[in-house]
Amino acid sequence: MAPARPPPKEGRCKVRRVFLLAAASLLCAGITARAQDAEAERERESVRKAVETHLYSEDVEEKKRVTYAGAKVLSVDSDGRKIRETPVSASAGKRRGAKTTRSPQKIVAIDVANNAAAVKVATEFMPADPADALPKHFQYVTLLKVNGEWKIVGILMPLTTLAKPASK
């Protein structure tokens, strides 16, 4: 039996080319994926900053910069029968010299899709009496990217109070 002959040189070159093309494709795909991940993280961070400005800033003008002028807070009345619409700007102002107690708020989720985003914010109510404590409350802040800037366009605000059983 004759020893096996190595494949012709031309065949080995094709295999090498295919291997190099596959390796280059995988390398480019990895670089592209990392670049997309970095861009997505930058967008998430920009959304986070806009919402944190809305939640924590004491400067009304600063809040206006991250809020669309027609933005609304949508909620349901305490009977659960009617939808209420309140301009976000009505909740942005603060009376001078007024003391306010604010419950801690924390961003718990950010979802960005192209030029739209939704942010879930949790609020821990801090009543004077721990027996009156309510469960954690969530609100959903929606944003759109306009002219390269994230603007709050609406806030979905579920009921913040729970009916307590009547005492006998």
Number of domains within the chain: 1
Q: How far apart are alpha carbons 119 and 141 in whole angstroms? A: 5
Q: Answer whether 85's CB lies under 8 Å from 72's CB.
A: yes
What CATH number does the domain containing 98 carry?
A: 3.10.450.50
> Is residue 95 pLDDT above 90, yes or no?
no
Q: How far is CA 65 from the centre of its chain?
A: 18
* pLDDT, tens digit (0-9, with 9 covering 90-100), for 35-83: 678 888 999 999 999 999 999 999 999 999 999 999 999 998 888 889 9
In a domain, 143, yes or no: yes
Q: How confident is the model at residue 163 (pLDDT cuts 50, 70, 90)?
A: very low
Domain with 138 in it: 33-157
Q: How far apart are alpha carbons 146 and 156 in whole angstroms? A: 20
